[in-house]
Chain A
Amino acid sequence: EPEVTQTPSHQVTQMGQEVILRCVPISNHLYFYWYRQILGQKVEFLVSFYNNEISEKSEIFDDQFSVERPDGSNFTLKIRSTKLEDSAMYFCASKAGRLAGDTGELFFGEGSRLTVL
């Protein structure tokens, strides 16, 4: 069964360092998302991406964050200068378009745990 894969599963970094989290969405999907979950809290929307551009972003997604789909398969989240409060589990998700049998479901990866020291 197709799945969303994320790397790394866990990354530890020093405050102020740049971090790139990688995701490989399901191959024929058209909508891509990043969510984060701070330990013990709810899953929060960060950004959605469609047709090679950001379609919506939350207040959390400030200038320190950026997303890219560099090669048609990977979907990356970059945090330019990490802060302690960026420590969280980051989930990537993808969704099919209508012509590809969209069921309305977002498919999530297993997550990348980011720890900022």
Chain B
Amino acid sequence: AQSVTQLDSQVPVFEEAPVELRCNYSSSVSVYLFWYVQYPNQGLQLLLKYLSGSTLVKGINGFEAEFNKSQTSFHLRKPSVHISDTAEYFCAVSEGSNYKLTFGKGTLLTVNP
């Protein structure tokens, strides 16, 4: 069975600082990987995804992530964060014919002025 580990439950950073949100997964087969963002009192919005091809994927709002198969990781990065990036970020893995997503526990990114 697949699982997703987000190592940090909370990450506080100052505005304009770089940030990395860590995600590791376990799966016995090829997977699709996703990062979703959830702003307060809102639904889930896709930030970026890895399906195949280049291991460095770029998403919305200046975020990017790198798929590392040997380390089974898919860490999310942004070189310079803004206060509006404050949100909960979920890493998710999809496998199998149902394409269901298994989510990590989430990382709360708080950007301070």
Total contacts A to B, CB within 8 angstroms? 57
Q: Counting CB contacts under 8 A, is A45 at the interface?
A: yes
Chain B, interface size category, equals: 20 to 34
Q: Counting CB contacts under 8 A, is A81 at the interface?
A: no
Find chain B residues with CB under 8 A from A50 CB: 98
**Chain A contacts with B in 65-92, Cβ cutoff 8 A:** 91
**Chain B contacts with A in 45-72, Cβ cutoff 8 A:** 45-46, 49, 51
What does DSSP make chain B's interface, helix, strand, loop or mixed?
strand
Q: What CA separation (Å) do A108 and B92 show in the bound complex?
A: 13
What does DSSP make chain A's interface, helix, strand, loop or mixed?
strand
> Are the CB atoms of B98 and A48 closer together than 8 Å?
yes
Find chain A residues with CB under 8 A from B49 CB: 103-105
Per-residue interface assignment for chain A, residues 19 to 51, with 1 indicating a CB less than 8 Å from any chain B CB and 0 otherwise? 000000000000101010000011111001010
> Are the CB atoms of A43 and B103 closer together than 8 Å?
yes
A115 to chain B, nearest CB (A): 14
> Are the CB atoms of B102 and A45 closer together than 8 Å?
yes
A41 to B, closest residue via Cβ: B105
Q: What CA separation (Å) do A100 and B102 show in the bound complex?
A: 24
Per-residue interface assignment for chain B, residues 71 to 113, with 1 indicating a CB less than 8 Å from any chain A CB and 0 otherwise? 0000000000000000000101010111111111110000000
State the B residues within 8 Å of A (CB).
32, 34, 36, 42-46, 49, 51, 90, 92, 94, 96-106
23 A-B pairs, CB-CB below 8 angstroms? A35-B101, A42-B90, A42-B104, A43-B44, A43-B106, A45-B101, A45-B102, A48-B98, A48-B99, A50-B98, A56-B96, A56-B100, A91-B44, A103-B49, A104-B32, A104-B51, A104-B94, A105-B34, A105-B46, A106-B99, A107-B46, A108-B45, A110-B43
State the A residues within 8 Å of B (CB).
31, 33, 35, 41-45, 48, 50, 55-56, 91, 93, 95, 103-111
